[in-house]
Amino acid sequence: MTNNTKVFLVLNSGSSSEKFSLYEGEDEICSLYFEGVEEDGKKQFICTLTRADGSEERIDKTWNSLDVAFKEAKAIFEKEGFINEAHPLDGILVRVVAAGKYFSANHIVDDETMKELEKVQVTNPLHVPGTERGIKNARETFAGVPVMVMSDSEALTRDSRRDTEYALPREIVDEFDLGRWGAHGASYGYMMGRIPELGLLEKKMVVCHLGSGCSVTALVDGKPAYTSMGETPLEGLMSSTRTGSIDPTIGALLGEKLGAAEAIKLMNKQSGLLAMAGSNDMREIIAGAEEDNANAAAAYNLFIDGVAGKIGEFAAKMGGIDAIVFTATIGERSIPVRNSIISKLEFMGFKIKNDVKLDKSKGYANAAEEDSKPIYIIPTNEAAYMIKKAGELLDDLA
């Protein structure tokens, strides 16, 4: 490892949030999580600072948009004394969610990277603008510090062709560089290291990454076998503002009416929970469903059936499942979501205690009843995975 004492800032722009983590070598110094909340009847962004000892502190300020998050993060890190002239940044890592061979590997950002990003703008409207904004802000805020883009697909590279291809003519696949690249790879890559580290590895596992974007990945012997996202994160599960998989004919019809770029935007940004129930926030959907709001209940049920159904599909493909893992913000925090999914999977030997909360200081929780196969809640750490990969990238270049 060449980055043992290097100070890296990791930026993870999600579709609804921005996460910054500061590392020295492989040790996290602190992290900042900017997330949207409804406060005083207004949508605004708040920020939580988490220190190396795990203690959390809400920053006493709110913001109207994530555009300013980078500069605010720098100011917070300087105020807290985490970076200064004597302790400068050595590099900035930016998570990139984008299709194609180029973005299934990690790169130091150069002109080619910026051109490749331009090409995937249309197909990844939820993430590529955040990545471009992140690179621009990184260069402006920390002039001269190298920026790297860290692939969100690389960890999902699968050995077998069973899950990676589309049934399309070869010339079309080659012309458009198509493949089931998958996404949330930084999270799954972290899980592939973390699960054995915690001594929890089973032969056939399904990891559910449920956040603003939702996906499920099956691991056989700790390696990825099947994943629900495909060419882009639109494939697979319905998410807060995404359709998930729908009849492809609808995509073509929308393309004809709106043009391809607007059609893809509509399916990514104006669909999902938001379209069905008027909110992209799972907490509001749950509250609505509990108050018998029919649209919220329909959206919730479609969401839950989608996740449970995908787990069932992977069980059939693998010939059973030995353990289920929940991660990412909804997976880690939401008791109702976990309970609703698992209550559909009793026939496969899973029964959940209905009140288990994750205590992050303990590393993980097992929410399974005594007579159930394990149901783990394990916090993800996409930044830790990106840091490890940055070390490998620097070693390769050395």
Ligand X SMILES: Nc1ncnc2c1ncn2[C@@H]1O[C@H](COP(=O)(O)OP(=O)(O)O)[C@@H](O)[C@H]1O
Ligand Y SMILES: CC(=O)OP(=O)(O)O
Q: How far is CA 73 from CA 92, 141, 213, 335, 380, in A?
A: 13, 10, 24, 31, 21
184 binds, among ligand X, ligand Y, Mg ion, none (CB under 5 to 8 A by kind): ligand Y
Beta strands in 73-201 (DSSP E): 91-96, 107-108, 147-151
Cβ nearer to ligand Y, comparing 82 with 103: 103
> What's the length of the chain?
398
Give which of 238, 195, 247 is closest to 216, Cα–Cα. 238
Q: Which stretch binds ligand Y (CB under 6 A): 68-76, 158-166, 209-217, 254-262?
A: 209-217
* The only residue of 123, 137, 240, 327 in contact with ligand X, by rule CB under 6 A: 240
Residue window 133-172: x/- pattern of binding to ligand Y, with contact defined by CB under 6 A: -------------------x--------------------
As measured in angstroms, the least distance from the Cβ of 280 to ligand X is 6
One residue of 125, 213, 236, 336 binding ligand Y per CB under 6 A: 213
Are 133 and 139 a contacting pair, CB within 8 Å?
Answer: no
DSSP letters, 252-297, are HHHHHHH-HHHHHHHHHHS-HHHHHHS-S-HHHHHHHHHTT-HHHH
Catalytic residue among 152, 355, 371, 396: 152
Footprint on residues 217-276 left by ligand Y (CB under 6 A)? 233
Is 371 in the active site?
Answer: no
What DSSP state is assigned to residue 203?
S
Max Cα separation, the chain?
A: 60
Region of 55-63, 74-82, 208-216, 266-274 interacting with Mg ion (CB under 5 A): 208-216
Q: How far is the CB of 183 from ligand Y (least distance, A)?
A: 4
Using N-to-C axis directions, what is the helix angle for 185-197 and 382-397, rounded to 10°?
Answer: 100
Any known ligand binding at 51? no
Nearer to ligand X by C-beta: 186 or 254? 186
Phi, psi torsion values for 100, nearest 5 degrees: 100, 160
Which of ligand Y, Mg ion, ligand X, none interacts with 282 (beta carbon under 5 to 8 A by kind)? ligand X
Q: Judged by CB, which is closer to ligand X: 185, or 213?
A: 213
DSSP string, 220-251: ETTEEEEES--SSTTSSS--SS---S--HHHH
Instruction: State in angstroms the smallest separation of the CB of 273 from ligand X.
Output: 8
- Look up residue 83 and give its DSSP letter: S
For 239, phi then psi, to 5°, come to -130, -170
Per CB under 6 A, the segment of 173-181, 206-214, 313-321, 333-341 that binds ligand Y is: 206-214
Tell me whether residue 3 or residue 31 sits nearer to Mg ion (CB atom).
31
If the CB atoms of residues 272 and 391 are measured against ligand X, the closer one turns out to be 272
Residue nearest to ligand Y (CB): 213
| Given 47, 183, 276, 352, the residue binding ligand Y (CB under 6 A) | 183
User: In 51-127, where does DSSP find H-type helix?
Assistant: 69-79, 111-119
In the complex, least distance from residue 152 CB atom to ligand Y, rounded to whole angstroms: 6
Contact 148, 94 (CB under 8 A): yes
Closest CA to 10 of 20, 25, 24: 20
Candidates 299, 300, 323; CA nearest to 311 is 323
Q: Which candidate, 348, 394, 352, 354, places its Cα nearest to that of 376?
A: 352
Minimum distance between the CB of residue 104 and ligand Y, rounded to whole angstroms?
A: 14
Answer yes or no: is 255 a known binding residue.
no
Tell me whether residue 212 is annotated as binding.
yes
CB atoms within 10 A of CB 320: 12
Task: State which of positions 315-344 bind ligand X (CB under 6 A).
Answer: 328-330, 333-334
158 among the known binding-site residues?
Answer: no
Structure tokens at 275: 């379209």
- 95 known ligand binder: yes
Query: Which residues are part of a known binding site for substrate?
Result: 95
Query: Which residues are part of a known binding site?
Result: 12, 19, 95, 209-213, 281-283, 382
Residues that bind Mg ion (CB under 5 A): 14, 211
Give catalytic residue positions.
152
Query: Which residues are part of a known binding site for Mg(2+)?
Result: 12, 382
Residues that bind ligand Y (CB under 6 A): 14-15, 97, 152, 183-184, 211-213, 233
Residues that bind ligand X (CB under 6 A): 14-17, 211-213, 240, 280-283, 328-330, 333-334
